[in-house]
Protein backbone atom coordinates (compact mmCIF):
# COMPACT_ATOMS: atom_id res chain seq x y z
CA UNK A 1 0.00 0.00 0.00
CA UNK A 2 1.07 3.53 -0.56
CA UNK A 3 -0.04 6.45 1.51
CA UNK A 4 -2.32 9.31 0.51
CA UNK A 5 -2.42 12.87 1.79
CA UNK A 6 -6.01 14.00 2.24
CA UNK A 7 -7.68 17.39 2.01
CA UNK A 8 -7.08 17.75 5.75
CA UNK A 9 -3.47 18.67 4.90
CA UNK A 10 -2.54 22.15 6.17
CA UNK A 11 0.69 22.41 4.13
CA UNK A 12 2.83 22.56 7.24
CA UNK A 13 5.89 21.26 5.33
CA UNK A 14 6.66 18.60 7.96
CA UNK A 15 6.25 15.48 5.81
CA UNK A 16 8.24 16.29 2.67
CA UNK A 17 11.74 16.38 4.19
CA UNK A 18 11.02 13.23 6.23
CA UNK A 19 10.34 11.00 3.21
CA UNK A 20 13.42 8.85 2.50
CA UNK A 21 12.14 8.07 -1.01
CA UNK A 22 11.36 11.67 -2.01
CA UNK A 23 7.80 10.55 -2.75
CA UNK A 24 6.18 13.67 -1.26
CA UNK A 25 5.90 16.95 -3.13
CA UNK A 26 3.73 20.03 -3.06
CA UNK A 27 0.81 19.71 -5.44
CA UNK A 28 -1.47 22.50 -6.64
CA UNK A 29 -3.31 22.82 -3.33
CA UNK A 30 -1.79 20.36 -0.86
CA UNK A 31 1.11 17.95 -0.61
CA UNK A 32 0.83 14.74 -2.58
CA UNK A 33 2.49 11.34 -2.52
CA UNK A 34 3.83 9.65 -5.64
CA UNK A 35 2.59 6.07 -5.23
CA UNK A 36 5.38 4.80 -7.50
CA UNK A 37 7.92 5.99 -4.93
CA UNK A 38 6.09 5.43 -1.64
CA UNK A 39 7.19 2.30 0.21
CA UNK A 40 5.61 3.35 3.53
CA UNK A 41 9.24 3.58 4.66
CA UNK A 42 9.77 -0.17 4.20
CA UNK A 43 13.52 -0.64 3.94
CA UNK A 44 14.21 2.51 5.96
CA UNK A 45 12.11 2.63 9.12
CA UNK A 46 9.68 0.51 11.11
CA UNK A 47 6.81 2.92 10.39
CA UNK A 48 6.10 5.70 7.89
CA UNK A 49 7.91 8.84 9.03
CA UNK A 50 5.42 11.19 7.40
CA UNK A 51 2.71 9.82 9.69
CA UNK A 52 4.84 10.37 12.77
CA UNK A 53 5.51 14.05 12.00
CA UNK A 54 2.09 15.03 10.64
CA UNK A 55 0.30 17.24 13.20
CA UNK A 56 -3.19 16.56 11.79
CA UNK A 57 -5.05 13.32 12.54
CA UNK A 58 -6.05 11.42 9.40
CA UNK A 59 -4.36 13.85 7.00
CA UNK A 60 -2.25 10.93 5.76
CA UNK A 61 -4.02 7.63 5.20
CA UNK A 62 -3.53 4.35 3.39
CA UNK A 63 -4.36 4.92 -0.27
CA UNK A 64 -7.44 2.79 -1.01
CA UNK A 65 -6.54 2.76 -4.72
CA UNK A 66 -3.01 1.44 -4.17
CA UNK A 67 -3.07 -1.77 -2.17
CA UNK A 68 0.38 -3.38 -2.03
CA UNK A 69 1.87 -6.15 0.07
CA UNK A 70 4.95 -5.68 2.23
CA UNK A 71 6.82 -7.81 -0.32
CA UNK A 72 5.86 -5.38 -3.10
CA UNK A 73 6.86 -2.39 -0.97
CA UNK A 74 10.24 -4.06 -0.37
CA UNK A 75 10.63 -4.63 -4.14
CA UNK A 76 9.97 -0.92 -4.78
CA UNK A 77 12.57 0.00 -2.14
CA UNK A 78 15.17 -2.22 -3.83
CA UNK A 79 14.47 -0.70 -7.27
CA UNK A 80 14.33 2.90 -6.02
CA UNK A 81 17.66 2.58 -4.26
CA UNK A 82 19.37 0.53 -6.96
CA UNK A 83 20.06 -2.42 -4.70
CA UNK A 84 19.24 -5.12 -7.26
pLDDT on residue 84: 67
Residue 17 DSSP label: G
pTM of the model: 0.92
Q: What is the pLDDT of residues 24-80, one digit of tens each?
A: 999 999 999 999 999 999 999 999 999 999 999 999 999 999 999 999 999 999 999
Tell me the three-class secondary structure of the chain, residue by residue. CCEEECCCCCCCCCCHHHCCCCCEEECCCCEEECCCCCCCCCCCCCCCHHHHHCCCCCCEEECCCCCCCHHHHHHHHHHHCCCC
Q: Given CATH 3.30.70.20, say whether it is the number of domain 3-80.
A: yes
Which pLDDT does position 83 carry in this prediction?
Answer: 87
Domain positions in the chain are 3-80
Amino acid sequence: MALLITEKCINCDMCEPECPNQAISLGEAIYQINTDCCTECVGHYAAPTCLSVCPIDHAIITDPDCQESNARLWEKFVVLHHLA
